[in-house]
Amino acid sequence: AQSVTQLDSHVSVSEGTPVLLRCNYSSSYSPSLFWYVQHPNKGLQLLLKYTSAATLVKGINGFEAEFKKSETSFHLTKPSAHMSDAAEYFCVVTSGVDTGRRALTFGSGTRLQVQP
Amino acid sequence: DAMVIQNPRYQVTQFGKPVTLSCSQTLNHNVMYWYQQKSSQAPKLLFHYYDKDFNNEADTPDNFQSRRPNTSFCFLDIRSPGLGDAAMYLCATSSGRGLQYFGPGTRLLVL
């Protein structure tokens, strides 16, 4: 069994300040973890992924996330927010042996607002 | 160089009138998925194809069907849309290593 908890449904930051979106997961097996971003009326775009290599993962648009097994966390950060970062962010986990049939488990999403 | 293409982007149908949503991919991935996403919610998996092997989620209504005539194309058929079926429908593909690539979605409106 696997699950994802995004600890904040809404986060509001000022442009140029750091962003922190929190995610905790549970998984029976070694997990693969992803962050996806969704702009209004758009599909999901992959920001970054963790698949058991380096624990600090760098993604697109200056985002990064750190896999902390002891804390079962995979928080998303960015040093300086930009107005274009305003969107919905989903933390996603998948795990299991049969990679071809893996289901993704989505968190409930965090809406990021960026104030000018 | 779009990789997962969904048509149309917006679809309006009438209550009870069958509708088909289309997804195609240029990635040659063997797994294709259909998700339903309602407003302010996370995507919910409806079903997926592993090659030609169809896998339905337990709670997917019978009203929803899918076809995959070849590797590149997958269709979502809603036999009798109700007002509650209005949502964004997302198609995704995977090579089977966990990472999924999503299309831009089709927003369905039911009148």
CB pairs < 8 Å spanning A and B? 55
Q: Where are the beta strands (DSSP E) in chain A?
A: 2-6, 10-14, 19-21, 23-27, 32-38, 44-50, 56-58, 64-68, 73-78, 87-94, 105-106, 110-115
Is there a contact between A25 and A83 (Cβ–Cβ < 8 Å)?
no
Pick the most confident of A25-29, A52-56, A101-105, B77-81: B77-81
Q: Which of A20-29, A93-102, B61-70 has the lowest mean pLDDT?
A: A93-102
pLDDT digits (tens, 9 = 90+) for A53-108: 788 999 999 999 999 999 999 999 999 999 999 999 999 998 765 555 567 889 99
Please give, rounded to a whole number of angstroms, the shortest distance from the CA of A43 to a CA of chain B.
4
> Which residue from B minimizes the CA distance to A34?
B99
